[in-house]
Every structure is written in structure tokens, then in C-alpha cells.
Amino acid sequence: MRLTVLDRGHRLPARMFFGFTELVSRVPMSDVPKTLLYRPDFFGAVFLDLSAKAMRGPSFWTAGEREYIAMRTAERLQCPYCAVTHTELVQLAGDPTPLRPELTAALAFLEDLTPPAIPHDAAVDALNVSLIWQVVNRLANAFKFELRPGQLESGTRSLHRFGYRFPGFLTGKGVGTPEELRKAVLEAPARTSPELRQAAAAGDAWGSYAATVRNASYRITDEDIAQLDHTEDEIFEVTVAAAVGAALDHYESGLEVLGG
């Protein structure tokens, strides 16, 4: 279900940025920046910094290989929006097919979390990419992200060109690490209590809702969200918390397999 606040609830700097971008590109702003730039102090600032580091910072993997990992993550989590987007980004960043053996091993590691025959740093870099898109895939499914005419080409070109970075005046300062993401989303003051968000991260909030976001976000329907007797900001926070919790669990399980 599309939340009204993710379309029209942004602060003035974000609204001005969206308006200018839409005027220049003649394409409506896509759902990913709308979501990440809504209340960036809660989620987006840390998450965007983490995304830029994972997707375009120094890495064992090329940009094209990282986009390929993102594409495969979207396919595994059944997120059509992200699968299509990253298929396009693979072409922009450099199609890595035929895959080198290290990437094949990394993809298997991310799927079953068995020890991979690749360097430790390479496996950690792959986990960082997976962490980002495990969050976004679940949000895209739950909030029904849609690709409108022109958005695929315009949005992917912008992401690739600017290396997943947004102007600092939109996000404020955010230190992008998995631990800071945990603190921002699950522990810092927000509209909902830390206890509720931590329960959502574990899949134990609002009946089966948080668990479904974690385990089968593609099954979330408009009716599921419409039946929640909560404000849109509360729904936003609990959904983000569930998505982040699932992604961090996978990330930390991977680190344990690698020996920390």
C-alpha cells in the first residue's frame, strides 16, 4: 500500500529537490528517493551513506558485480521493482557475465550462508551489498513501489552517475555502518517506542504483519496495511524496523560464518 506521507509528507528541502529534478528530467520522482528522503534523521541519512559505500566505495567487487548481486537479491526476495531496476543498472555499470568464479561463490554464500571459497574481505563486501537491498526489497514490496514511464532510465542513470549519493542538505549527516543503522532505526527516539521497533525487527509486532515483512514481503497487500489501526508514520517506522531487522540478521549470520 502506498503511504500518503511518502508522496506528500516531505520537508521543504526535499520537496524543492523533487520539484527541480522533475522539471529538468520531465519524469516523476521515483519511490526509492521518496522513501529514503522522508524523515532522513530516522532512517535515510545513515542508510544512504551505507548504500553509497557498499555500492560505489572501495570493494573487491566491480560496480557491475555489485549491481548483479543486488539484482540476484531482488530475484530471491521476489521484488519485481528492484529486479528490473538492477537489471538496468547492471548494463550501466558493466555487465559482469560470464561471472568470475569468485562472484558465483559469493552468490551461493549469500543464499545459503555456507563458508565461501573467496577472500574474507570479498565476502564482507558482498554482505554489505546484500544488506542494503534486503532492506529496500522489503520496503518496495510492502509499500508497492511502482515504475512510471521514464523512471527506469532516468533514475538508474542518476544513481549510477552520482554513485548513490544525494546532496547533504537533503539528508544531514549520517555515518553509514550496520551498527549505526541499528541504532538509528531500532534504538533512537522516534514516533514509536524502541521496544516496539525492536519487536518488529524480530518479527513480533502487530500480529503477523512484521513477520510477513521480514519473511515474505511480497505477500503484503493493501488490505494488510489498511487494516492496521495506526498512523502512517507508525506504519512507516514499524515496516522499516522489520525490514532492517531481517537484513541485519542475515548480515550478522554471514559474519558469524566468516568467523566475525
Condensed to tens digits (0 to 9), the pLDDT of residues 87-129 reads: 999 999 999 999 999 999 999 999 999 999 999 999 999 999 9
Domain boundaries, the chain: 4-258
Question: What's this model's pTM, rounded to 2 decimal places?
Answer: 0.96
Q: Are 119 and 259 a contacting pair, CB within 8 Å?
A: no
Tell me the three cell numbers of residue 136.
Answer: 529496500
pLDDT digits over 190-232, tens only?
A: 999 999 999 999 999 999 999 999 999 999 999 999 999 999 9
Q: Does residue 1 surpass a pLDDT of 80?
A: no
User: CA 184, CA 12: separation in Å to the nearest integer?
Assistant: 22
Mean pLDDT (the chain) is 96
User: CA 225, CA 256: separation in Å to the nearest integer?
Assistant: 34
The pLDDT of residue 119: 97
User: CA 55, CA 58: separation in Å to the nearest integer?
Assistant: 9
pLDDT (average), residues 230-238: 98
User: CA 6, CA 28: separation in Å to the nearest integer?
Assistant: 14
Q: Are 83 and 136 a contacting pair, CB within 8 Å?
A: no
Distance of CA 110 to the CA centre of its chain: 16
Read off the pLDDT band of 174 (50, 70, 90). confident
Tell me the three cell numbers of residue 190.
Answer: 522516534
Distance of CA 260 to the CA centre of its chain: 23
Q: Are 67 and 89 a contacting pair, CB within 8 Å?
A: yes
User: CA 50, CA 52: separation in Å to the nearest integer?
Assistant: 6
Element (H, E) at 125: helix 120-142
End-to-end CA distance of the chain: 38
**3-state SS, residue 86:** helix
User: CA 176, CA 37: separation in Å to the nearest integer?
Assistant: 15
Q: Which amino acid is at 25?
A: S
